[in-house]
Copies of this chain bind each other. A is one copy, B any other.
């Protein structure tokens, strides 16, 4: 079991008061807080090893290159991938998906082809495909949802056909918490001869993740949602796929030779990392991974399931309060979107802030889903390893306060 009290000691930001109350941070689905080990990794890098990588011969450049490439290996290990060379560092999940839309999509998607996604997706897994479809004359098709907040498997099956070239779906919903049975979806895609991209922004940080078990051809996620720094994303691709793809951005480090007539590309993954990468933050992601590995992802998952169950049980006791998404905590992650009757989510979030409780209110970059839920916005509490049951009481207090204000 995670010892939350001790663990919170590792997160300096949590030891502050906000509007006179202990900070209760319930917005980890947006971005997580960072343990001291991650902050120290940044400081240590800049104080001892900072240099530009890959082309340098001097000692600092060697150190920086080694630490940067070490993190590639750590990422591969963390997601159960066999080749570090299949891991590309980007800025965030969004860039990882856009990279695929350009480097794979512009090459393999043509007139009349179809890309299947769902109404549950984050904008980052919608807009890149709309842009690609517009460039290629292709179409984006949207699988629908069941009333209890699952992806409607029949609707997905009906959409996937001979024109489908790519199925791109989220692993865990950032609004409903729903965990999708992605291995099944991957199989449906593959049977139709399509590739399967997995938006794992909300899953890799919160549960034991094995890339082989997902069946995915591409996996995208962000360091900042897994206790790591802002500015780093990961794209993993099945062995051999990166080689077939065109470069995304051109520039330093991604070339083999540059001539006036034409240039040739460096080997993967470097072909996709143009210019000076975000060296320090990549290295700090390595520290975040080590921190999570030390906790154990099984433990992390167990903790968050228990906390989610507790939070749902507690919130549901508030008269009229409604929770979106699956009722069974085993079928979802630590994300609880709720409605307080008569209280608009923005008012809810402002009043919560007055109690030191950081929740998010809005469309959560999921406008299609909001339309399905027939709400303009929701209030959302989301958890990470540093949250405990003692964070729920202040949330309940804030909700009661809001109900009183808007009674």
Contacts and interface: CB of A to CB of B under 8 A. Distances in A.
Interface in A112-130: 119, 122-124, 126-128, 130
Given A58-B358, A349-B57, A52 B27 contact: yes
Contact of A127 (B92, B127, B255): B255
Interface in A275-292: 275-281
Contacts of A46: 12-13, 33-34, 38-39, 229
Contacts of A127: 250-251, 254-255, 258, 263, 274
A19 interface: yes
Contacts of A34: 46, 50
Could you say how many copies of this chain the assembly holds?
A: 2
Interface string A310-352: 0000000000000000000000000000000000001001101
Where chain A touches its partner, the secondary structure class is mixed
Interface in A85-113: 91-95, 97-98, 101
A252 B122 contact: yes
B128 A250 contact: yes
Contacts of A353: 57-59
Interface stretch (A161-169, A182-190, A206-214, A362-370): A362-370
Interface residues of A, number: 93
A259 B51 contact: no
Contacts of A80: none
B51 A258 contact: no
Interface string A227-267: 00111110000000000000111111111011110110000
